[in-house]
Amino acid sequence: MIRRLYIHEEVRGDPRVLRIQERLHRVPAFVVPHGSEVQEAVACGRDPIARGKRVLFLTQNRGPFVRKCPGTKSYMCCGYRILNIGTYCTMDCTYCILQAYFHPPVLQYFVNQEAMFKELDGLFSREAPGFHRIGTGEFTDSLVWEPWTELSKTLVPYFADQDRIVLELKTKTCAVENLKGLSHNRKTIVAWSLNPPCIIRAEERGTASLRARLRAAAQCEAWGYPLAFHFDPLILYEGWEKDYKRVVSVLFQTVSADNVVWVSLGSFRFMPSLKRIIQERSPQSKIIYGEFIPGLDGKMRYFKPLRIELYRKIVAWIREFAPDVVIYFCMEDKEVWRKVLGFVPDDAGGLSEMLDNSAARHCACSW
């Protein structure tokens, strides 16, 4: 729940700001000349990370809205593009890397969307050929803003009116009501991050339950949307095999495997600086006390043989229900690909092309 609303003085009269103010009419609102004042207000609290989840700052994005995913050197990147609609999240996952990215973290929503659509117009132009996968869920959850902004009602029809770019909305919520009845032309993929119920309860506070996420996915499928799922982060704990196998089974009993564009797998990894934050904010969490070693990107990762065993089992369970679904790894090296899936994406033209082709098949694209 938003407890304070800050508005940058440059956007105070923007119609989007006025609509959000109307929806949050009970929330105290303050006009400020600088974003630093908002950060100072958040930092003065006992837990600035939690406090930042209740403070909304409406402002302008002064950088590019569309960016290439930075990826990680030495690990395979999928060629994704990021649509930067805002930053941070109201949910409180113990492992969230955004806790270490922003200092202090603040919910920022960018209202200068004329500039955003101008950038997208350039990407959609026939003078800029190529196929693209774009997502809004890199620095935030794609649907967490819906109760105040209804951004999907603008984005989804916009992407529907072309045939070589797909939008992916990644979420841990079940806030899909605004997607109903939209003209989407299958150019929007609705995607969920999945974990067993015990992990959701313990490590993904404030998120929708597994049952609610899958119920929302089934509803979106009924509305004609293609789907995707992300088992990321996969977490090792006593009994993980039984629990993850059950998640896979329930998933494909709920939605059609033929309508799933891709499934990504990624094991739990974290920057060393995040360990202290997890210890201080979530002392009950045990996820950082495993067999970790520094990866090629400096993040702590499960020992590679453990990751390979984990992936092999997840892949086998998925293949029982969805033998043809595209499975890919988020930030793994060629050895993991070959030992788990028996190939590396370079054998099939590259990871980006592999995902582009799957999106084109499922999303009625031509390029």
| pLDDT at residue 127, rounded to an integer | 60
Q: For the chain, what is the domain count?
A: 1
Q: Is residue 297 part of a domain?
A: yes
What is the per-residue pLDDT across 297-352, written as a single tens digit (0 to 9) for each?
A: 889 999 999 999 999 999 999 999 999 999 999 889 999 999 999 999 988 889 99
> Measured between alpha carbons, how far is 202 from 197 in angstroms, rounded to an integer?
9
Q: Is residue 244 part of a domain?
A: yes
Q: Check whether 77 has a pLDDT greater than 90.
A: no
Q: Is residue 115 part of a domain?
A: no
Q: Is residue 32 part of a domain?
A: no
> Measured between alpha carbons, how far is 105 from 80 in angstroms, rounded to an integer?
24
In 10 A of CB 202, how many CB atoms? 18
Q: Check whether 160 has a pLDDT greater than 70.
A: yes
Residue 362's pLDDT band (boundaries 50, 70, 90)? very high
Mean of pLDDT values over 213-219: 98
> Which comes out higher in pLDDT, residue 128 or 58?
58
Residue 354's pLDDT band (boundaries 50, 70, 90)? very high
Is this structure's pTM higher than 0.85?
Answer: yes
| pLDDT at residue 11, rounded to an integer | 97
Q: Is residue 247 part of a domain?
A: yes
| pLDDT at residue 92, rounded to an integer | 97
> Measured between alpha carbons, how far is 337 from 284 in angstroms, rounded to an integer?
34
| pLDDT at residue 233, rounded to an integer | 97
Q: CB neighbours of 309 closer than 8 A, spacing ≥ 6?
A: none
- With pLDDT > 70 as the criterion, what percentage of the chain qualifies? 96
Mean of pLDDT values over 54-71: 90
Peptide bond connecting 104 to the previous residue in cis, omega within 30 degrees of 0: yes
Kindly report the average pLDDT of the chain as a whole number: 93
| pLDDT at residue 227, rounded to an integer | 98
3-state secondary structure of 289: coil
Quote the domain boundaries for residue 179: 66-85+131-362
Q: Is residue 107 part of a domain?
A: no
CB contact at 8 A, 31 and 5: no
Q: Check whether 296 has a pLDDT greater than 90.
A: no
Nearest to 190 by CA among 215, 163, 162: 215
Q: Check whether 103 has a pLDDT greater than 90.
A: no
| pLDDT at residue 367, rounded to an integer | 57
Q: Is residue 111 part of a domain?
A: no
Q: Is residue 358 part of a domain?
A: yes
CATH at 176: 3.80.30.30
Nearest to 236 by CA among 311, 327, 315: 311
Mean of pLDDT values over 206-228: 98
What is the per-residue pLDDT across 109-153, written as a single tens digit (0 to 9) for each?
A: 999 999 999 999 998 886 666 789 999 988 999 999 999 999 999
Residue 192's pLDDT band (boundaries 50, 70, 90)? very high
